[in-house]
Structure 1
Amino acid sequence: MNKLTEEQIQELYTFTHDHFVYHFDLQTELVDHLANGIEVLLLQHPNLSFNEALQMEFKKFGVFGFQEVVEERRKALNKKYLKIIFNFYKAYFTIPKIMLTVILTILLYTTLSSFTPNYQHSIIMVLYLSFFAIAFIRLTKYNTILKKKKHKWMLEEILLTQMGLFSLFQLPIHILNMPVEIESSHFLGLMSFFNVSIIILFYVMVFQIPSKAEDLLEKTYPEYKMTKTL
């Protein structure tokens, strides 16, 4: 079977983009499908031109073109990528990291127990506001970098959304850290563990996962290296 040329493959990428498929990972799956179909058609009908075979193959997608297929693949990739992100979280929490969580919890508990509830709340607020500011800067930088890239990648946009949601998630957490009148060491210990866990999750989400996602995209899509700027 005659393989398509590199120039024809690039034409297929342009064709998918012109038909409203903007994520490069989704484009790649469609290009592979189109290329295989076109190669079969050209083998069966040698007199067909590349463009004629492309139009014949495109008609198989129906009146809505790539819309239905893209929606199905988007859902599948979204599910796949969210599972990958969850696995990144699991991989991070090894025994040393669990021990670090315990140590940080004890340190925070010891610090907070030296102050009244009002001061405890202020300390937690300062802690969260500091991390919220870092998250905002990181989120803005990441968003700017993605906008400059020639190709859009669905995994990166999912990460951007997750980072934004995680930052917003911190706001209602402040309610849980409101000072209480009952001085309970159990409550203070639980609050310390909860806050340390959130901060560690924040670190993993904002700093660790984006770099791991880049490695994943490089291994899955060799073309990613050409568009990498982060």
Structure 2
Amino acid sequence: MKLTQSQIQDLYDFTRRHFVEHYDVQTELVDHLANGIEQQWAVDPNIPFQEALQAEFSKFGVFGFHDVISEKTKAMEKRYWKILWSFYKTYFKLPRILMLIIMTLVVYTSMGVLTYESKGYFISFLFLGVMSVIFVKAIKNRKRLKNNSKKWLMEDMILNHGTSLAFVNLGLQVCINPMILKEVVLHPIGAFVMAFLLTAMVLLFYVMVYVIPPRTEEFLIKTYPEYKMG
């Protein structure tokens, strides 16, 4: 005895009511629930659908779908960071490493011509300015999620990570005391290291917000075969 399309839709609705918002996770749970219900019906076809559903749901324990969601999120996080790193490391190879070096030298040289009192403020405001532009772009990327009828875990990570991490770093930079930075960049080696780290961090967020999001559909098709059919 097989589930009807109406009953399968009821299973999707059931997962949403139990705080499963991503379609790919919903689908995995629906398949699991459906198989369990059909196995029950193979033994006793008179078991009501809702009773069979509750019996299957009870197997997930007191926390319901929480553990499944957590496991899927961790797995997708690893996949996302692997994708991010694969793109980011290209900036440390020719010819893009030349851009990284040039940007570092520009920041380093700029700090060199500033007065002692201005160095820390220059770094703070430069980083805040660049990150503000990236943050605005990340917000625009995030709006794409609101226009989709289905939410996919990978898509959510791609379009949300740039926003969340940029926001955190903006807050950190506001909290950093420019006078402390000024002491760090007082020495040439400290100034160069600071310039390199600043440039590398900006490039990381650039990749997160400008490079990966336009290729979201490509990553979704590779991750979910059913995405292309949808």
TM range, smaller chain? 0.7 to 0.9
* Paired residue type of 1:192: A
5+ residue gaps, structure 1, are none
Matched, 1:79 2:74: yes
Say whether the 8 Å CA contact 2:58–2:64 is kept in structure 1. Answer: no
Matched, 1:56 2:74: no
* Paired residue type of 2:134: A
With 186-195 and 170-179 compared, the bigger mean Cα shift is at 170-179
How many residues are paired up? 222
Q: CA deviation at 1:27?
A: 0.9
Q: CA deviation at 1:6?
A: 4.5
Say whether the 8 Å CA contact 1:163–1:205 is kept in structure 2. Answer: no
Q: CA deviation at 1:118?
A: 3.7
Pairs within 5 Å for 1:47-196: 47-48=45-46, 52-53=48-49, 55-62=51-58, 68-92=63-87, 93-94=89-90, 95-96=93-94, 97-159=96-158, 160=160, 163-173=163-173, 175=176, 178-180=181-183, 183-196=186-199
Q: Report sequence identity in percent.
A: 32
With 172-181 and 24-33 compared, the bigger mean Cα shift is at 172-181
Superposed CA RMSD? 3.2
TM-score by length of 1: 0.77
| Distance in 2 separating the partners of 1:76 and 1:210 | 24
5+ residue gaps, structure 2, are none
The change in CA–CA distance for 1:106 and 1:67 in structure 2 (over 3 A counts) is farther
